[in-house]
A and B are shown apart, each in its own frame.
Chain A
Amino acid sequence: MSTSSIAPPPAAAPASGDYAPIRAKAAPRPGTWIAALIVALLVLALVNFLLTNPVLDWGTVATYILDVKVVQGVGWTLLLTVLSMVVGTVIALLAAIMRRSDNPVLRGVAWAYIFVFRGTPVYTQLVFWGLFTVIIPKIVIGVPFGLELLSFSTRDLFTAFWAAVIGLGLNEGAYLAEIFRSGLNSVDRGQSEASRALGMSEGLILRRIIVPQAMRVIVPPLGNETIGMLKTTSLVLAVPFTLDLTFATNGIANKLFTPIPLLIVAALWYLAITSVLMVGQHHLEKYFGRGFDARTPGAPGTKRSRQSAVNSAGTTPQNPLPEVEL
C-alpha cells in the first residue's frame, strides 16, 4: 500500500477550523477490479439466461402469480407462520423461564422439551401431529380411572390446520427457548440486583427490567426464525395440510406439467413476504435498542452491535436449514 498519492500534511499548521482538505487520488487496486469484472460478466450471463431461456416461461409466471389458488395459498402460509410463531414464542418464554428456575422439576421438564423437539426433524413431528387423532381419538376430562365428566373427539377439534400450527409451534418453541434463554442471560446480573434492592419482586423484575433488555438480543435471531418459519410452512404437506403456497403452486404445476414457472411464482411470493418481514424486524430492533445506542442510525458501530447480538444468541449456526430446503 503506497501512500505516494496522498499529499503530505502542510508544513505550517493552518488557523484552527480553517484548513485545506487533502486532495487524494485512490491507490490502484487491480485485483479488486479484475474480480469485479468477472462477477459482472457472470451476472450478465445469468440475466441473459433468465430472460431468454424458454423453460422459465415468464408468461406462465405472470398468468399464475395472482391466481386465486396461489393468493389463497399466500394467505394460509402467512396465517400458519404468524400463529405458529405465536405458539412458539409463548412456549419458548415459558421454557426459558423454567430453565432459570431453582426447582429441578421445572428445569428438567424444560430441558427435556428442548431436547426432544430440537433433536427430531420437524417433518417427523408434523407427521406425528397429523396422526394425533389416531393416537388419541378422545379426550376425557374427569376423575382418572373413574368418573367421566366431559369427553370430546379430537377429530372434531384437531383439524389438519391446527395440527400444522401446533406441530410447527412446538418445534419452533424449542429453538426460540434457547434464543430467549441466551437473551435473558445476556442482561447484566447487576440489573436484577439493583431492582431487588428497590424492593421489586422477581416477576416484576423479569417483566419490567430483564425481558425488555433481553429483547434487544432476542429480536435479530427471532427475525431470522420467523423468516425460517415462513419457509418451513412448506412442509405442512406432511400433516397433511394442503392449502399453503407451496402445495398450491405444486398442484398447478402438476396439472400443467410446467414445474419451473410455478416454482418461480412460489419463490417470488416467499421473497416478497420476507422483504415485508425484514422491514418489521428493523422497526422492532430500533424500538428495543432504545437507550442502548446513542449514536445516529447508520453510524459506525450500529451494525456491529446488531451482529454481536446475533452472535451472542448463538443459535444461527444450529438453524435447521437442510430441513427447510427439503
Chain B
Amino acid sequence: MSHENTHRAAPAEAAVPAIEIEGLHKSFGDVHVLKGCDLTVRPGEVAVLVGPSGSGKSTLLRCINQLEEASAGRVRIEGVTQGYAEQPLADGRWQKLSAKQIAAQRARIGMVFQRFQLFPHMTALHNVMEAPVHVLGVEKAQAESEARELLARVGLAERADHYPSELSGGQQQRVAIARALAMKPELMLFDEPTSALDPELVAEVLAVLQDLAADGMTMVVVTHEMGFAREVADTVVFMDDGRIIEQGPPAQVIDSPRSDRLKDFLDSVL
C-alpha cells in the first residue's frame, strides 16, 4: 500500500503553499487553546493531525476555514490571507472582510465533520446539490447530474433519494464528503471523520479518503486512526497542549518519535 505515498510528484518548492499558518493563537475566554502554531501544507499534500484530545487539533482545523476566529497569527490559503485584508490600515489595524467575502473564502474549502451534519430534511441528493445551486448558482439539472456522479464516486448511487435518517453512519459520512466535494474545493478538512462511526463502518469512509488522496486532493485530516496516518499521510503533525511538537513523514514521526510526549502518545494509541 506504500504506493499511496509515492504516486504524487513532489511539488515544486517554489509553488505557493495550499495552506500557510503563521503564529496562530486561539483563546476561548481565559483558556489558551492554540499557543502559536506554524504549519505549511503543499498543494496535493495530505497532512494528518494527531494528538491527545484537547491538544487543539480541531481548533486548528476550524481556524483554517474561519469557523473559529484566530486570536493572533494568520492563515493564508493559496497565498490569500483569510478573514482580513492583505495590508494593514494606516493606523496599524487590520480590516476584517465582510461576511460575504468570508463566505466566498469558505466556499473554496470543503469540510467534513465528526457528526456528519447532513441536512436531515433533505435527501442525500439534495444535500449534495444544496450549496452548488444556492451558493454557486449552478443550474439544477447540471447540479443534479454532478451530485449523482459524486454519490456514485462514494459508492452511494442507489441511496441518492434516501433521507439521512435512512442511512448508516458510514453512508451518511460518505454523503457528507460528496456534499463537500460538490463545491469543487481546493482543499478538504476532515475533523475526526470516523470517530462517530461503529468500528465496522470506519473502513468504508477511510477508503473514500484514501481515494481522494490518490486523486491529488490537498487534505488536512484530524484523526485517531494511526494506521490511516501511516498509509495515507504525506506529513504527520503531532500536537500537544496547543503546540505542534513534531511533524514529518509518517515513517519518521510514528516509527521514530523524538519527543517523550509523542512516545507516550504513541504508546497509548498503538
Is B48 among interface residues, defined by CB-CB distance under 8 A?
Answer: no
Is A31 among interface residues, defined by CB-CB distance under 8 A?
Answer: no
Selected interface stretch from A58-66, A120-128, A199-207: A199-207
Is B113 among interface residues, defined by CB-CB distance under 8 A?
Answer: yes
Is B104 among interface residues, defined by CB-CB distance under 8 A?
Answer: yes
Interface centre among A195, A202, A204, by most chain B C-beta atoms within 10 angstroms, is A195
The contact of B67 among A188, A196, A213, by CB within 8 Å, is A196
Interface mask (B120-132 → A, CB under 8 Å = 1, otherwise 0) = 1111000000110
| Smallest beta-carbon distance A198→chain B, Å | 4
A208 to B121 CA separation, bound complex (whole angstroms)? 10
| Smallest beta-carbon distance B132→chain A, Å | 9
Chain B residues within 8 Å of chain A by Cβ, number: 33
Contact between A193 and B135, CB atoms less than 8 A apart: no
- Name the residue of chain A whose CB is nearest to the CB of B132: A198
A257 to B20 CA separation, bound complex (whole angstroms)? 87
User: Hey, which chain B residues are within 8 Å of A291, CB to CB?
Assistant: 120-123, 163-165
Is B14 among interface residues, defined by CB-CB distance under 8 A?
Answer: no
User: Hey, which chain A residues are within 8 Å of B180, CB to CB?
Assistant: 197-198
**Could you list 11 A-B pairs, sorted by A, with CB under 8 Å?**
A191-B117, A193-B67, A194-B119, A198-B180, A199-B108, A200-B134, A208-B134, A213-B119, A290-B121, A292-B165, A294-B166
User: Hey, which chain B residues are within 8 Å of A195, CB to CB?
Assistant: 119
* A193 in contact with B99 given A200-B134, A208-B130 (CB within 8 Å): no
The contact of A199 among B113, B118, B183, by CB within 8 Å, is B183
Contact between A198 and B120, CB atoms less than 8 A apart: no
Contact between B163 and A188, CB atoms less than 8 A apart: no
Contact between B115 and A201, CB atoms less than 8 A apart: no
User: Hey, which chain B residues are within 8 Å of A198, CB to CB?
Assistant: 106-107, 130-131, 135, 179-180, 183
Is A54 among interface residues, defined by CB-CB distance under 8 A?
Answer: no
A198 to B67 CA separation, bound complex (whole angstroms)? 11
Interface residues of A (CB under 8 A from B): 188, 190-191, 193-202, 204, 208-209, 212-213, 216, 288, 290-294
- Name the residue of chain B whose CB is nearest to the CB of A200: B135
A195 to B113 CA separation, bound complex (whole angstroms)? 11
User: Hey, which chain A residues are within 8 Å of B165, CB to CB?
Assistant: 291-294
Contact between A199 and B106, CB atoms less than 8 A apart: yes
A144 to B118 CA separation, bound complex (whole angstroms)? 52
Q: A199-B135, A199-B183 known; 13 other A-B pairs, CB under 8 Å? A: A190-B115, A193-B67, A193-B113, A194-B118, A194-B176, A195-B119, A197-B109, A198-B107, A199-B107, A200-B135, A213-B119, A291-B121, A291-B123
Contact between B67 and A201, CB atoms less than 8 A apart: no
| Smallest beta-carbon distance A101→chain B, Å | 13
8 smallest beta-carbon distances between A and B, as pairs = A199-B107, A194-B117, A291-B163, A198-B131, A197-B111, A190-B117, A291-B121, A199-B106
| Smallest beta-carbon distance B252→chain A, Å | 32
A203 to B115 CA separation, bound complex (whole angstroms)? 24
Is B207 among interface residues, defined by CB-CB distance under 8 A?
Answer: no
Is B65 among interface residues, defined by CB-CB distance under 8 A?
Answer: yes
User: Hey, which chain A residues are within 8 Å of B131, CB to CB?
Assistant: 198-200
Interface mask (B161-184 → A, CB under 8 Å = 1, otherwise 0) = 001111000000000100110010
